[in-house]
Structure 1
């Protein structure tokens, strides 16, 4: 076992409800038991702004993946699923890319996807998905709130607040991006 502290955590959540899709991420970056940064931006629009993405994992790795996905979106404009599958194939088979440690949630007006380095391109059930150290807490909270009359943004904000109360690697400094679905 190594004595070198490891980077921990983030929480990224996506909620699709009522004609809107929201991707939200917390801002905390931790190294071991130390908070290194509290306001990191882990969610951003991609390409021409018709896709939003959030990442959990190593920042440099995520930036590489964002750039790669933007390239695929240029190659397959308006086809997020096709671009994501093509990128996931590269991610899994390319010697350099397969060493990258990150997961991504990407969404456009039609689809939300979770992308992993093992080649997974997963479309969530129930319009809600989450990744990262606090992902399961945010997912459970959002699923419970999905049947209420709250809108997508309100659900996302409340679910992230709940995750931040439970997960020590998640904070309340949120970056939220949304699109009309």
Structure 2
């Protein structure tokens, strides 16, 4: 991969935690252009409802690219209502093989409350091994914090919020303005 190619881990932090019959997705609000903060209150975690069943999506990377992918995911879910895994796999296949989509620079975390996936432009649909996942420039910090907090008495929302706070204290491309969405299993 060339050094100018998008590495998939840039410019935000999204963390998801599944615990106690709930899935919580939290994201920060910082939009950066290079080393400059352009906006501090962007909404990178969104709820979509194709076919009536809610799905929560969090994205990292280029905003326009992420919205393109979210629109495609909605169409896949409309074609296969209630089948998030199938829709995610179909999106990943299109993303990997379509000449236009292949150049999109974003990653997604998606959940319907039962399933939880990370979708990448490399054609991956990853299900977290430990009921915790994170993406973005501060993703590894949030992932480590959430994994460390998981075995405590804290609920999914508390873990996600604390993990994102820790990532914001370490990653200069992440701030503490959180958007949190929750779904029940």
Task: Return the TM-score normalized by structure 1.
Answer: 0.95
Residue 34 of structure 2: aligned partner: 32
Partners of 1:49 and 1:22 lie apart in 2 by: 16
Corresponding residue SS for 1:64: helix
Return structure 1 stretches of 4+ with deviation > 2 angstroms. none
Partners of 2:175 and 2:130 lie apart in 1 by: 25
Give CA-to-partner distance per residue, 1:54-109, whole Å, 9 cap, x none.
00000000000000000000001000000000111011111111110000000112
CA positional deviation for 1:121: 0.3
Instruction: Give unpaired runs (5+ residues) of structure 2.
Output: 5-9
Q: CA RMSD in A?
A: 1.2
1:65 aligns with 2:51: no
Q: For 1:153, which of 144, 152, 157 is the aligned residue?
A: 157
Corresponding residue SS for 1:45: strand
Q: For 2:16, which of 14, 17, 42 is the aligned residue?
A: 14
Partners of 2:24 and 2:53 lie apart in 1 by: 13
Residue 100 of structure 1: aligned partner: 104
1:44 aligns with 2:32: no
CA contact under 8 A between 2:44 and 2:59: conserved in structure 1?
Answer: yes
Residue 7 of structure 2: aligned partner: none
Corresponding residue SS for 1:148: coil
Equivalent residues, number: 176
Corresponding residue SS for 2:23: strand
Instruction: Give unpaired runs (5+ residues) of structure 1.
Output: 3-7
Residue 136 of structure 1: aligned partner: 140
Corresponding residue SS for 2:41: coil
